[in-house]
Amino acid sequence: MSMVGVIGYGVVGSGTVELFEKHREEISKKVGRKCDIKYICDLRDFPGDPFEDKLVKDFNIILNDEDIEVVAEMIGGATLAYEYTKKLLERGKSVVTSNKELVAAHGAELIAIARAHNCNYLFEASVGGGIPIIRPLNKCLAGNEIKQISGILNGTTNFILTKMIKEQMDFDSALKLAQELGYAEQDPTADIEGHDACRKICILGSLAFGKQIYPEYVHCSGISGITPDDVEYAENAGYAIKLIGTVKPAENGKVLAIVCPRLVEKSNLLASVDDVYNAISVVGDGVGDVLFYGRGAGRLPTASAVVGDIIDCLKHHHKVLALSWEDCFDKDYVADYKKDQVSMYVRIKAEDAQALKSAISEMFGKLMYIERAGRPDNELAFITPHMTEEDIDLNLAILSHSSEIASKIRLL
């Protein structure tokens, strides 16, 4: 009998157990041996739970049980989960996870430990929830030079932005609803400020370009500063505002990675990705543009990817799957995003905003002004031409002497 342990019986942990047990017979057939979940480890009690007989409180029971081949780490965070994952891998037990924080912080190291102990560390669920993206990037697209990966990688913020745009819901109510539906992280700051999406783009970039990209070196800004006025201006100019993570190769073997809200043209498929859905666009030199779309968060969609990884580990017991990247401690590996060319949506406030128009045109050259119904006289919104962000900032610094720069959002 091939046995599985689950550590952490929260939203995704319980979804994983439910899905695995629902399909246990079929999973056993796929693996070619009888498989089951032996233990679920959690410090809490779950009286009346259908799998109460499998619950244990001591992690060492799983660690020391020779029958356990694979463990689903569903604890989250990068402290206890890190310690447990290392111990399990060192014992030759494969570990699967949806824990993007841990993979983004210690992926290269944990993969290396797994290889050294003839087991696997898999994390399909860490990016895009139920969307297959890690395997396609690692296998099906491996014959390409990856030109760019960009995507909507956080279900909570996409859900919030959609509710704000389509149902005029205020930010707090939309966030509360996302939390009730189990999309948001325990601390929603990680979602709202883009840290969660940042971890995910770092994982994709590490895999695509072969070296660990650490989130602390990646510029990241979230959606908390987006106002209904910005949404309206964007709409009028033919754009939707989305939180986008991007990674692409840069000069001298570096990568350029950034997470920020962006104005996405309505004709771009990413603009119509709504609610909790995620979408990841991968551009390869051979394949062109490929779009991966699906539920990026939630109990069963995420469990779907976790159970897929469990099955893969069970099928490849004592066989190392080729999925890895090198560690990289050079903080200059991530290029300076300010040197990248971009167009910027800018909203300014000034007592006599109209009078600034000629100065603005002189600074930026050809630009596009945007209107909204009831625009106050002291407000102007425009989209700059394509230029380095450094140059845009120099112009805005001059403009800030005579106006307030109320919003600044990059275009995709």
Residues that bind ligand HSE (CB under 6 A): 129, 154-156, 183-185, 191, 196, 296-297
Q: Which two tokens stand for residue 65?
A: 């049980």
Residue nearest to ligand HSE (CB): 156
Nearer to ligand HSE, 101 or 389 (CB): 101
Task: Pick the closer one to ligand HSE by CB: 151 or 284.
Answer: 151
Q: How far is CA 268 from CA 68, 275, 347, 398, in A?
A: 46, 17, 23, 33
Taking the least distance from each CB to ligand HSE, the nearer of 93 and 100 is: 100
Cβ 198 to ligand HSE, closest distance in Å? 12
Nearest to ligand HSE of 103, 344 (CB atom): 103
* Least gap, CB of 155 to ligand HSE (angstroms): 4
Amino acid at 241: I
Q: Quickly tell me which residue has 């770092």 as its tokens.
A: 202
Query: Which residue's CB is nearer to ligand HSE, number 183 or number 239?
Result: 183
- Write the Ramachandran bin of 252: left for phi over 0, alpha for psi from -120 to 50, otherwise beta: left
- Which residue out of 100, 163, 200, 211 is catalytically annotated? 200
Residue 371 CB, nearest distance to ligand HSE (Å)? 33
User: What is the Cα–Cα distance from 298 to 304, expressed in whole angstroms?
Assistant: 10
Query: Looking at the DSSP assignment, which residues form a beta bridge with residue 178?
Result: none
Q: Has 200 been annotated as catalytic?
A: yes
Taking each helix axis as running N to C, give the angle between helix 299-315 and helix 24-31, from 0 to 180 degrees, rounded to the nearest 10: 30
Q: What is the 3-state secondary structure (H, E, C) of 348-411?
A: EECCCHHHHHHHHHHHHCCCEEECCCCCCCCEEEEECCCEEHHHHHHHHHHHCCCCEEEEEEEE
Strand pairing category for 255-265 and 288-295: unpaired
Residue nearer to ligand HSE on the CB measure, 156 or 304: 156
Of 113, 121, 114, 120, the residue nearest 97 (C-alpha): 121
Cβ distance 212 to 206 under 8 Å?
yes
| Least distance in angstroms from the C-beta of 242 to ligand HSE | 13
Rounded-to-integer distance, Cα 35 and Cα 301, Å = 21
Indicate the residue type of 392. I
Q: Can you read off the two tokens belonging to residue 316?
A: 């490849």
Closest distance between ligand HSE and the C-beta of residue 104, in Å? 12
Count of residues for the chain? Answer: 412
Can you tell me the distance from the alpha carbon of 272 to that of 292, in angstroms, rounded to the nearest whole number?
A: 13
What is the β-pairing status of strands 35-41 and 2-7?
Answer: parallel
Q: Report H helices in 210-277.
A: 228-236
Q: How far is the CB of 11 from ligand HSE (least distance, A)?
A: 9
Q: Which of residues 8 and 129 has its CB atom nearest to ligand HSE in the complex? A: 129
CA distance 264 to 242: 7
- As measured in angstroms, the least distance from the Cβ of 78 to ligand HSE is 15
Catalytic residue numbers, as ranges? 200
